[in-house]
Structure 1
Amino acid sequence: MISNTELPSTRPYLIRALYDWCSENGFTPYVAVKVDNTVQVPREYVQGGEIVLNVSMDATSSLKLGNDFIEFKARFGGKPREIMVPIHRVMAIYARENGQGMAFPVSDEETAPAALSSIEGQALDSADSHEKPITPSPSSSGRPALKRIK
């Protein structure tokens, strides 16, 4: 039997599934990212160590939702940028219009992918999973703050 530490992470599969759900139902998929030096985003748009990215087909080009990275090209303030987000830095994916989606635990350690797979496996086995649906709640930054639903 394969241990949880040897299994690939479920996170990229869940992100792709929720992206498809948003797209097929006419919603705008957003990803919330905890930024560190492994994340390639325009730093001037990072607030409080986080950034929320519109990953819809209309907002991106060359979008790749891979097992290790989310990669795409987008315009920020009219300037084209190449974006690359390690999957383990994604805090949530949700629909802008209704806030439905899923939140993920994000470790502050940069070597998180192997440890995160183990955490995700444990969370799926427990009654109080870390991967919970989310809804927006007001925030001072003007963008939805993510709130876990119990």
Structure 2
Amino acid sequence: MTSHRPYLLRALYEWIADNGMTPHLLVDATRAGVQVPQHAVQEGRIVLNVAQRAVTQLEMGNELIRFSARFGGVSQAVAVPVEAVLAIYSRETGQGMALPDDSPVPDAVPEEHEGDSGEAGVEAGIDAVPGDAGEPVATPPLSAVPGAQSPDGDDDGPPSTPRRTGHLRIVK
């Protein structure tokens, strides 16, 4: 299958821009193929403002994001491989998405563990443990978080106040 990352990036970019906010990309500047001004890189990462008013000739392809932008008053070409983008978010609210790793996921359940309904064991809540000769193990059930609001609006805990501003925090 093709990578879902470029599709998520384009969709979130459009959503952020349609809502009148400023889309920013968090990029791992240490990845191969990243062409950004090195003076703007901090701790191996760079935040790029990709709003329509800040860049020219923006191309968000399936493999590469290209545009021209001004850094310190000097126009420079920027090229970022899609796999080097760590997140896309709105500067104003912090809303966006940290993109998941796009590495291939090995088939966790052999075909002989498929049920009669055609559902694979993973979908039925069974995972194969690597090195365990394919023996299925039940995954732990999900449970409610104490103090969290239920989907029907009932609140089991103290009322929480909504966050006024969002932010991204990098966890290493």
Tell me the TM-score normalised to structure 2 length.
0.61
Structure 1 segment 94-113 matched on structure 2, within 5 A: 94-105=89-100
Hey, what does 2:46 align to over in structure 1? Answer: 51
Q: For 2:167, which of 109, 132, 136 is the aligned residue?
A: 136
Matched, 1:92 2:87: yes
Percent identity over the alignment? Answer: 47
Matched, 1:34 2:28: yes
Tell me, what secondary structure is at the counterpart of 2:104?
helix
Matched, 1:66 2:61: yes
Hey, what does 1:19 align to over in structure 2? Answer: 13
Give the Cα separation in 2 of the matches to 1:105 and 1:78. Answer: 34
- Tell me the CA shift for residue 54 of structure 1: 0.2
Q: Pick closer, same or farther for the CA change 1:97–1:48 going to 2, 3 Å.
A: same
Give the Cα separation in 2 of the matches to 1:57 and 1:84. Answer: 16
- Tell me the CA shift for residue 105 of structure 1: 3.9
Tell me the TM-score normalised to structure 1 length.
0.69
**Larger of the two Rg values belongs to structure:** 2
Deviates more, 1:88-97 or 1:34-43: 34-43
The structure with the largest strand share of the pair is 1
Number of residue-to-residue matches in the alignment: 113
Task: Give the conservation status (yes or no) of the 8 Å contact 1:8–1:117.
Answer: no
Task: Give the conservation status (yes or no) of the 8 Å contact 1:32–1:92.
Answer: yes
* Residue deviations 1:61-91 (CA, integer Å, cap 9, x gap): 0000110011000000000100000000000
Greater relative CO (CA pairs within 8 A, separation 6+): 1
Tell me, what secondary structure is at the counterpart of 1:20?
helix
Tell me, what secondary structure is at the counterpart of 1:136?
coil
In structure 1, stretches of 5+ residues that fail to align are: 1-6, 107-115, 127-134, 138-144
CA RMSD of aligned residues (A): 2.1
Task: Give the conservation status (yes or no) of the 8 Å contact 1:10–1:117.
Answer: no
Give the Cα separation in 1 of the matches to 2:100 and 2:27. Answer: 11
Give the Cα separation in 2 of the matches to 1:38 and 1:46. Answer: 15
The structure with the largest helix share of the pair is 1
